[in-house]
Amino acid sequence: MKPKRFALTPGEPAGIGPDLCLLLAAHAQPHPLIAITSRDLLLERAAQLGVVVDLLPVAPDSWPDVPAPANSLYVWDTPLNARVTAGQLDKANAAFVLETLTRAGQGCLDGHFAGMITAPVHKGVINESGIAFSGHTEFLADLTHTAQVVMMLATRGLRVALVTTHLPLREIADAITPERLERVTRILHADLQEKFGIARPRILVCGLNPHAGEGGHLGHEEIDIIEPTLERLRGEGMDLRGPLPADTLFTPKYLEHCDAVLAMYHDQGLPVLKYKGFGAAVNVTLGLPIIRTSVDHGTALDLAGSGKIDTGSLQVALETAYQMAETRL
């Protein structure tokens, strides 16, 4: 099977993203993996970590077709705006972070990369630089002109997608409209088919309120919005079960018979998934015309340059992107 090229963005340069890339390079990947970042940054961090890595320069006119050997890494050099000190944020490099994402995303759109894998960014420092930024998901949606995307995290034996993502609790109920719920469910169903090769996805849907509303005694969103929307989609042949109480849905009785869970909000579904698989989970953006996966953790500024990190989540993100690219219809 012919190898496919993938892009890797190390995220916040002062965080552990560059460390992860360097440690990952110790083992050969099955596909050409191209780190889009500053070569100088990697050289400095490698010296700090005591890691010996051969950084192989590549560019749009010299894409590799074979994987890099062990202890080496393809690098598409992207200049920093300011020198980096591990663990110390600098808003001067916010534009650099976004440039790496733009290069990776546009490279996927142009067919140079089969997918992109992202290490964590620091939203706060990007916003402090004067650039409005709410996250990878929204940035890539804008870049690819995608109207609606869906965040899904996955680990062994569990996938959890979200109807709403980074919203204050006070705003969540108003954000769950029939239109939004239908769009998210359709995207989840379609990408489970197209990008994960599941012919007939089985999806469990959480209620919004405790006990899924307790028949209207604890809220009416299930009666007025969630159940009617699911019923319409069931009429099209989708295998949807719910709305179910979130406190009992995440049990083997239900999970062993599903391909994904659709949670209404961020902290309803993700604490369960991260408890089950933190360090071995992956963040997948559904609905994009490209493949994008990410680690399940943050920038860990306090660990940058220490060598005391685990590449497990990044390896899972890579493997998931590879599998999605092979499965994609």
Binding residues for a divalent metal cation: 166, 211, 266
Query: What whole-number distance in Å separates Cα of residue 38 and Cα of residue 13?
Result: 9
Residue ranges for the binding site for substrate? Answer: 136-137, 274, 283, 292
Tell me the DSSP string of 229-257: HHHHHHTTT-EEEEEE-HHHHSSHHHHTT
Query: What whole-number distance in Å separates Cα of residue 84 and Cα of residue 40?
Result: 10
- SS3 at position 62: coil
Query: What whole-number distance in Å separates Cα of residue 151 and Cα of residue 261?
Result: 12
Which amino acid makes up residue 29? Answer: Q
Residue ranges for the binding site? Answer: 136-137, 166, 211, 266, 274, 283, 292
**CA 48-293-61 angle, 5° bins:** 70
How many Cβ atoms from other residues are within 10 Å of residue 309's Cβ? Answer: 18
How many Cβ atoms from other residues are within 10 Å of residue 211's Cβ? Answer: 16
